[in-house]
Amino acid sequence: MAQADTAVAESDVYYDPYDFAIDEDPYPVWKRLRDEQPLYYNDKFDFFALSRFTDVDKCSADWRTYSSAKGTVLELVKANLDIPPGSIIFEDPPAHTIHRGLLARVFRPKAIADLEPKVRQYCADALDPLTGSGGLDFIGDLGAFMPMRTIGLLLGIPEADQERIRDHIDEGLKLKEDGEPTLAADFGTMQNELFADYIDWRAKHPSDDLMTELLQAEFEDVDGARRKLSREEVLNYVNLLAAAGNETTTRLIGWTGKVLAEHPDQLAALSADRSLVPNAIEELLRYESPSPVQARYVTADVEHHGQTVPAGSVILLLTASANRDDRQFPDGDRFDIRRKIVRHVAFGYGAHLCLGASLARLEGRVALDEVLNRFPNGWRVDYDNAVQARTSTVRGWERLPVFTN
């Protein structure tokens, strides 16, 4: 790596995504990275990291140089595994564009908007039994329930099996030990056994769900051949959608409970004026981004802040750091439900902009609205029993119990 200027080179700031103490509150470390080492190199795990908004934003849009084709998780890229077909998150255009297009109808704005009554009902099913109980767990009672029901509905997974699948996915994402990556070596097959029977059943019994749509879709591949997805491709589509549909929205709901409890004046304002809810969700996504770190494989030598990042390197785009960058968001560490946000990078940017962003926004908005309908006087976090989840991919809470006022 080329020598940086003396001030940056002598900085003792340290960051890695596997350190539980850092993950507890990474924002002071990320602020130091932005100020002292906007291009950071970690020798222990051999990765670079970018932390400022302009850098993360630009690199997110440049898929040719900062590739997702080897994975978007540090330990996955470093493992240099063969990415299974159908893993659309781990593809670049043109294949990514074609395969993403197969899901466009399901995730178009009207189709997502049409889900709102169902999402509200799922929230009501979770919250009504808790009314008057004096408390709830934003994860156990709501965040782990409603997103699972919603993505299960879209995919066509029976409700009786959804919790088992969610628990299996959660377990696969957890970091088992402080300071070490734990990616399973059988990444390509570790989840597929969960969905194989559903795929085979849907192949013989079509229905109005995403699984059926994927099985029946015809498209023109990158080589010009007209074909359908293979069984393996459909399995990997479903696997990724189930994981993504559960995890990030669950974390958003957890952060909603925690952050608003810490800002009771803003919680009271939301309770009094529900028109503030949509912007509050955007501010929550900016302030506590559920997916804070995106890994990319560097395909050519590039320069950042006077230093060369060689081709073949892994670079982390610290999206949650970028979303707190004072250069883009004045007083970025301040939470403000009335903040004017032109754009954040909580859902990425460019070709890999999260396909489910509109669904996550809908679920976050409806969840907050329905909680406020039942607990309009706010809540306080029961920190003695709250548990933070430990993964290298998403950041949030495993349990977040609160006392309602």
The pLDDT tens digits for 43-97 are: 999 999 999 999 999 999 999 999 999 999 998 899 888 887 778 889 999 989 9
DSSP code for 10: T
Instruction: Work out the pLDDT band at 23, boundaries 50, 70, 90.
Output: very high
Residue 167: the pLDDT is 64
Structural tokens at position 405: 């006022």
Residue 295: the pLDDT is 96
Residue range 106-126: mean pLDDT, rounded: 92
Instruction: Work out the pLDDT band at 6, boundaries 50, 70, 90.
Output: very low
Query: CB count, 10 Å around CB of 2?
Result: 9
Alpha-helical segments (H) within 217-356: 231-261, 264-272, 277-287, 319-322
pLDDT in tens, 252-292: 999 999 999 999 999 999 999 999 999 999 999 999 999 99
- Hey, CA dihedral for 204, 206, 212, 217, is it positive or negative? positive
Question: What is the distance between the alpha carbons of residues 189 and 21, in angstroms, rounded to a whole number?
Answer: 32
Residue 163: the pLDDT is 67
Question: What is the distance between the alpha carbons of residues 403 and 337, in angstroms, rounded to a whole number?
Answer: 22
Q: Is the CATH number 1.10.630.10 carried by domain 6-404? A: yes
Residue 157: the pLDDT is 78
Output b/e per residue, 131-144; b: 16+ Cβ within 10 A: eeeeebbbbebbbb
pLDDT in tens, 159-201: 767 666 666 665 555 555 665 665 544 444 545 566 788 888 8
DSSP code for 83: P
Domains in the chain: boundaries: 6-404
Distance set, CA 80 to CA 48, 77, 183, 308 (Å): 17, 5, 12, 22
Instruction: Work out the pLDDT band at 120, boundaries 50, 70, 90.
Output: very high
Question: What is the distance between the alpha carbons of residues 104 and 330, in angstroms, rounded to a whole number?
Answer: 35
Residues forming beta bridges with residue 397, ordered by sequence position: 388
Residues forming beta bridges with residue 42, ordered by sequence position: 47
